[in-house]
Amino acid sequence: MSRRLSGRRVIYIVYAAIVSIAALMGFILGTINPEGMDPTLFFVVDLPATPVGMVIFGVSTIGLGLGALLLLVAYVADRYDDAELS
Amino acid sequence: MGDMASGQIAITVLMGLLLVVVAALLTRIENWRSYAPTAGASSLTGEETSYGHSEKPGGITRWLTTVDHKDIGILYGAFALVAFAVGGIMVVLMRTELMWAGEDIMSASLYNSLLTSHGITMLFLFGTPIIAAFGNYFVPLLIGADDMAFPRINAIAFWLLPPGALLIWGGFLIPGMEAAQTSWTMYTPLSAEQPMIGADLMILGLHLTGVSATMGAINFIATIFTERDEEVTWANLDIFSWTMLTQSGLILFAFPLLGSALVMLLLDRNVGTTFFATEGGGAILWQHLFWFFGHPEVYILVLPPMGLISYIIPRFSGRKLFGFKFVVYSTLAIGVLSFGVWAHHMFSTGIDPRLQVSFMAVSLAIAIPSAVKTFNWITTMWNGKIRLTTPMLFSIGFVANFIIGGVTGVFLATIPVDYLLHDTYYVVGHFHYVIMGAIAFAVFAGIYYWFPIYTGKMYQKALGKWHFWLTMIGTNLTFFGMLILGYLGMPRRYATYNLVSVGPIDLFTILHQSATIGAFILLIGQLVFVWNVVSSWLYGRRVADGDPWDLKDDALYSREFRWHERRMNDDLVLADGGASDDGSEES
Ligand code: HEM
Ligand SMILES: [Cu+2]
């Protein structure tokens, strides 16, 4: 029937989409720069409340968080996933 | 005072009418019996599900008297989609009002009425019923039952919904009456003091839908426990039925509590009791009762959609669901934990900080089983070969939006963040990512996936893709804008923002406008959807294949499609009056 895509590729695209949304959010908030915004990356690195700073904040937080999930997926899928394609 | 008296008379009359209707329904039961597929002792002997159509009366009588789980499923589905349209039109009006900062196309009080009705309609008249639609049609097929355990209770549960809906919308439908403006949470003292009868009607209607949901839940529990085919053990019960079972358990504990609280509220409003008055139980008592119901309610709405996603993703990834057991365990874990987090909706009411911390801990804990499910969905796809059919697109959209909804929720569950964002648009953004972005997406996935079964036709694929992309883009535009608005301090539940002193109006205007444009895109997408469903159902090409998704290729063929195939074969031989053999095999 329809074409088949590699699952990984689909997931990379979803991952990229979500991280871009985080980046966009950071960019918009950084541009607006509301009062009291004080991004601190992973509770240690102080970032400036600028578009660049906020984009870094959004991309690193969400990117690494979801990235860790994907690494775990890759690890588990290679080792324990025996439901092979027929 | 005169107002009060006439209000009470109106309610008494309405209650009386309701009783008459129920009594009339009961007297009809005898008549229903003759149409019941499971009438008499045959219900115990396990006859084929595909009894002929000739037993059913024709036309409208069939739909009014049916006790067949498939017909009732269709009724639930039709009802829910009408409610979805009503709730959708309400919110399009609201979003249009919010295009500009002032009071432009409607008064603030009308806005509040629409807001209230939109929330209640979407949750109780669309969300719960559309899940019941899938449950009714497919759980018996998936577990190999002839019908639901109590077919007539099933019908009664459905028929409580239309009067419930009329009561809930009564404030709009009855000329000269004002609709409730309590918001869906109906916080006291506001809800106890609002004078309009529309609010009483709404509370009564809500009560009816709660009774309906409870009856449905009892039926699902009984069905899944007692009506399974011998082949269907607990170990190979499908994931959708597991989520329906858990959901029904949640309904059983949550909805009766809502019902009691609603009756108390009605009494406070009409006969001067003081359950929620300051000199009585206090306003916070309502919040505790409401959220003890309200948080489980969000999981009542999300668990079966998660089940649908867990069911559909493997079928278009060409492989079995990864970690099936863990998906079931996480469903059960969510079911239990969801009763222990309600106060995260009440952090800002000044409850004891030690209590707050424990509720925060459980709220963060409940994210874990949700993360487990997400993990399993992604792992299922990882080594899979994906077919981007419309149901699969909606399933992938579910996962993406659910991640955003979940992450924003975890932020909210952190007490200091919640102090900042409570009662802002951020909260609205959060829960719509879940409710629209995930739950509605799963509903669409299910509607497309099973379309060949309940219509015998195939939907138009190009229109399905249009529907998906418009819905995906519209959802993200609308609710992304809301997250930012909330972050900037825009409070929720206002018809205007020119008087709000907390933020820059120009910025608010732009963000609100983008959210409104997103809502219009959503509207267009849903028009495409309606057109697709209606025209494909009426004029689409017949599905001649018992396996329209080619599931047999991947050894993922399942019971409901086997039933579908058998029925098609039966229809072919029906002319001979013969019963066909089960021609399919499970590979
Ligand atoms: C990942 C787990 C989740 C967490 C930690 C979470 C957390 C929260 C918190 C703390 C609030 C209160 C915000 C406030 O009013 O200040 C909230 C509101 C809300 N959440 Fe979630 N949530 C989660 C998942 C969900 C799901 C799955 C749904 C829907 C099915 C949902 C629907 C809602 C709704 C409807 C509200 C707003 C209620 C109202 O005030 O009108 N949430 N959430
Ligand atoms: Cu909650």
Q: In which band, very low, low, confident or very high, does the pLDDT at B559 lie, cut at 50, 70 and 90?
A: confident
Q: Compare CB distances from B379 to A4, A62, A81 and report the shortest one's residue.
A: A81
| Per-residue pLDDT tens over the stretch A22-79 | 888 888 887 777 676 666 667 667 777 777 877 888 888 888 888 989 899 888 888 8
Q: Which residue has the least CA distance to atom 43 on ligand 1?
A: B409
Contacts of B414 in chain A (CB under 8 A): none
In SS3 terms, B393-424 reads as: HHHHHHHHHHHHHHHHHHHHHCHHHHHHHCCE
Q: Is the pLDDT of residue B384 over 80?
A: yes
Average pLDDT (B152-176) is 91
pLDDT over threshold 50, residue B585: no
Average pLDDT (B477-492) is: 87
Q: What's the pLDDT score for residue B283? A: 84
Residue B405: list chain A partners with CB under 8 A.
Answer: none
Question: Where is B274: in which H helix or E strand?
Answer: none
Give the C-alpha separation, B188 to B194, whole Å. Answer: 10
| Nearest atom of ligand 1 to the alpha carbon of B302 | 30
Amino acid at B262: L
Q: Can you tell me the distance from the alpha carbon of B405 to that of B427, in angstroms, rounded to the nearest whole number?
A: 10
Q: What is the pLDDT of residue B139?
A: 93
* Amino acid at position A45, single letter: V
pLDDT, average across residues B100-114: 86
ipTM over 0.85? The verdict is yes
Q: What average pLDDT does this structure show over B38-53?
A: 39
Q: Does B484 touch chain A (CB under 8 A)?
A: yes
DSSP B541: P
Is pLDDT at B1 greater than 60 in this prediction? no
Residue numbers of B between 305 and 334 with CB closer than 8 Å to A: 317-320, 322
Indicate the Cα dihedral angle A65, A68, A72, A78, nearest 10°. 130
Paired with A41 in beta bridges are A45
Mean pLDDT of B39-46: 35
**How many CB atoms within 10 Å of residue A4?**
15
Q: Which residue of A has its CA nearest to B381?
A: A7
Distance CA B379, CA B373 (A): 10
Q: Is A71 at the interface with chain B, CB within 8 A?
A: no
CA distances, B573 to each of B141, B232, B567, B570 (Å): 21, 28, 10, 5
The ranges assigned to domains in chain B are: 66-570
pLDDT at B243 over 80: yes
Residues of chain B positioned with their CB less than 8 A from the CB of A70: 378
Q: What is the pLDDT of residues B457-467, one digit of tens each?
A: 889 989 999 99
Taking only the tens place, the pLDDT of each residue in B120-136 is: 999 999 999 999 999 99
Q: How far is the CA of B295 from the centre of ligand 2 (A)?
A: 4
Tell me the torsion sign for CA atoms B186, B187, B191, B192: positive
Span B518-543, mean pLDDT? 92
pTM (2 decimals)? 0.86
Please say whether the dihedral angle defined by the alpha carbons of residues B314, B320, B326 and B332, taken in this order, is positive or negative.
positive
Q: What is the DSSP string of B296-354?
A: HHHHHHHHHHHHHHHHHHHHHHTSPPTTHHHHHHHHHHHHHHGGG-GGGG-GGGT--HH
**For residue B485, what is the nearest residue in chain A, using CA coordinates?**
A29
Span B436-444, average pLDDT: 95
- Give the confidence band of B74 by pLDDT, cuts at 50, 70, 90: very high
Distances (CA, A) of A33 to A52, B470, B488, B497, B498: 11, 31, 9, 20, 21
Question: Which ligand is nearest to the Cα of residue B372, counting in written order?
Answer: 1
- Looking at this protein, which amino acid is placed at residue B418? D
Q: Which candidate from A18, A32, A85 shows the least CB-CB separation from B319?
A: A85
Torsion of CA B425, B431, B436, B441, to 10 degrees: 150
Instruction: State the Cα–Cα distance between residues B351 and B116, nearest whole angstrom.
Output: 26
Mutation target to probe the A interface, by most A beta carbons within 10 A, among B317, B321, B378 is B378
Mean pLDDT, residues B452-475 taken together: 92
Q: How confident is the model at residue B44 (pLDDT cuts 50, 70, 90)?
A: very low
The DSSP output letter for B66 is: -
Q: Pick the ligand that lies closest to the CA of residue B185.
A: 1
Q: For residue B20, what pLDDT is reported?
A: 77
| Contact flag A85-B383 (C-beta cutoff 8 Å) | yes
Q: Which residues pair with A5 in a beta bridge?
A: B386
Tell whether ligand 1 has an atom less than 6 A from the beta carbon of residue B183. no
According to CATH, what is the number of the domain B66-570?
A: 1.20.210.10
Question: What count of other Cβ atoms lies within 10 Å of the Cβ of residue B547?
Answer: 16
